[in-house]
Structure 1
């Protein structure tokens, strides 16, 4: 049994080394919530709630996540008994949605549990890889800047590149990229920029031989994606549309996609992410691990997740120094020859740089069992 005595919350903020731009907006500074759960033996597990400070990706924000953690999830956790991290999703089932808030604390408990068993998180969940392939994201509105980013990523060995597109730039961007790099593994991410009425424009993208087009239509849609997939040859990958195991099941039954992007934060944690992975494997749907411009703790959890056998496409898991001058973990995540080594140490396999964590913390809270804040 896990005897959790305390929970620490740190709201952190750091500037990105370079802006991250999509048609939805530009991210220059990144906030995140670091969650530390501590048991009666003094062992800590770490998770990261990856909501942004504004609701451009999902309805959750750092402010709403803090509200849910402070007023609902942490009190519920400290008042219940848990034997295994798999029980956390059921514990929080009466609280609707708020998946990023749930995932932040659920992943911390997975890290704690793996450390208690002196086992790496990847081995604990059934992962078998000792290294995983890395992919990277090109996020800029300037095509020349995009080509420079691709050149750099190619030198660093990234095995799959993703470019952000919109109806205003798609053909222009992809044509220039394919002219310079005709054979690189390339995908496009639309972040819901299109409507089904744009089917002819989307069909025109087939000529660019993309690995996939990610989330072309509305975030809540399944039906129109199914119609679109029948009209284009490029595989559709669903991202924002998949926030639960039921969403994944519905997409498969409708034929809404051929590929799914699995993000722990978006689906409520590691257990739900693993269940979606298993469902997709059973139905021959390819999966890959998405990124959230996260800090090292979330990135470490993603590395563990991506060791599962269904993750056949390189994920959005980049080196720590791609986004940050100094991350909050030790050692930094590093891409070498397009691959990331999977740590064999217990838990997520990385240490927390507490000095750096304190430097970037803008608010802090501690919760003690039986005492509250």
Structure 2
């Protein structure tokens, strides 16, 4: 597949409410979109990097720069398919989110030209997926309980609470007491704790959580393994897993019993599928994490979450959780908290031109 040009488009998407985690507060998403144009059509993708390097070392300005200067020029001029993009980009260290965006846009273009859906290509086994929602750190317990109540009423089948030191046991207890033991509940620390906090984190065992996500630093697999032995709550890794090799190491060490697969963090959906296959072979449940994606990134995540090893509800929330108006036709939960998997060619969604034009901040065209 020969690429004639690639568009790097920046859009600004205001969030319906601030989203606070242990590493900062987001009020809007500065999103980099990648559009690959070929002789047969085009493909779209979304770079998940945030404005500042807090969740990880990547940030959106840096992603655009590395795409422009290194990753796009590395693509063969005589043609490329998605399976070879990863090999071509492998010599460049890091920049997983930028790599993921480029590979995904190529894959979308490739699948649109053949008429195959993203879900079918990845090996999906379902046509709808159960959806969870991620609830940020709030200013008060009443505010948190009101937010959770709203999400439960919308139909979300799983609630994830962001936690940090000083906002952990009390909010979990409050949610459990208010909504009961039947609510699927988990927490996400975004690496906010150390092994010194093990005894305190063990207090969460009393609440029957599905998991505690990334409690320690992303390079602390050995200490995660030690922590896992001291908790009844299953430990899930997120930031620590940047590749199938990382997943294999974590499983071998006993650092986790569940993995959050974020395609952008691991370099793309093909590597995400490899992690899924590895985890499934070892009996490790996986679920699909989110990065406040627009409908473009959400379509790909929903397709991935339909693979058979994704046995836990992911962060594949409806569009309205984050945006008043999405870039695509909105993803809307059905009555029992599921989203339909797109079935059209490629991602199965298209950017809405009027919305896209309205939120575009800058546009860059790179000729091949």
Please give the TM-score of this superposition, normalised by the length of structure 2.
0.97
> What are the equivalent positions in structure 2 for 1:80-229 lying under 5 Å apart?
81-82=79-80, 84-141=81-138, 142-183=140-181, 184-229=183-228
Structure 2: gaps spanning 5 or more residues: none
SS across alignment from 2:75: helix
- Deviation, 1:78, is 5.2
Q: Give the superposed CA RMSD.
A: 1.0
Measured against aligned partners, the alpha-carbon deviations of 1:126-185 in whole angstroms (never above 9, x if no partner) come to 112110000001113222111111111111111111001112121111111111012200
Name 2:239's counterpart in structure 1.
Answer: 240
Measured against aligned partners, the alpha-carbon deviations of 1:232-285 in whole angstroms (never above 9, x if no partner) come to 110000000011111111101100000000011100001110001100001111
Q: In the alignment, is the contact (CA less than 8 A) between 1:5 and 1:78 conserved in 2?
A: no
In 2, Cα distance between equivalents of 1:229 and 1:221: 12
- Deviation, 1:364, is 0.8
Structure 2 residue 278 is the aligned partner of structure 1 residue 282: no
Name 1:30's counterpart in structure 2.
Answer: 29
Indicate the larger mover: 281-290 or 146-155: 146-155
In 1, Cα distance between equivalents of 2:15 and 2:331: 16
SS across alignment from 2:293: coil
In 1, Cα distance between equivalents of 2:300 and 2:107: 9
Q: Which runs of 4+ in 1 moved over 2 A?
A: 78-81
In 1, Cα distance between equivalents of 2:256 and 2:175: 25
Q: In the alignment, is the contact (CA less than 8 A) between 2:137 and 2:167 conserved in 1?
A: no
SS across alignment from 1:248: helix
SS across alignment from 1:303: helix
SS across alignment from 2:29: strand
Name 1:13's counterpart in structure 2.
Answer: 12
In 2, Cα distance between equivalents of 1:80 and 1:126: 29
- Deviation, 1:314, is 0.6
Aligned residues: 365
In 2, Cα distance between equivalents of 1:209 and 1:195: 22
In 2, Cα distance between equivalents of 1:243 and 1:124: 22
Name 1:367's counterpart in structure 2.
Answer: 366
> What are the equivalent positions in structure 2 for 1:32-71 lying under 5 Å apart?
32-41=31-40, 43-71=41-69
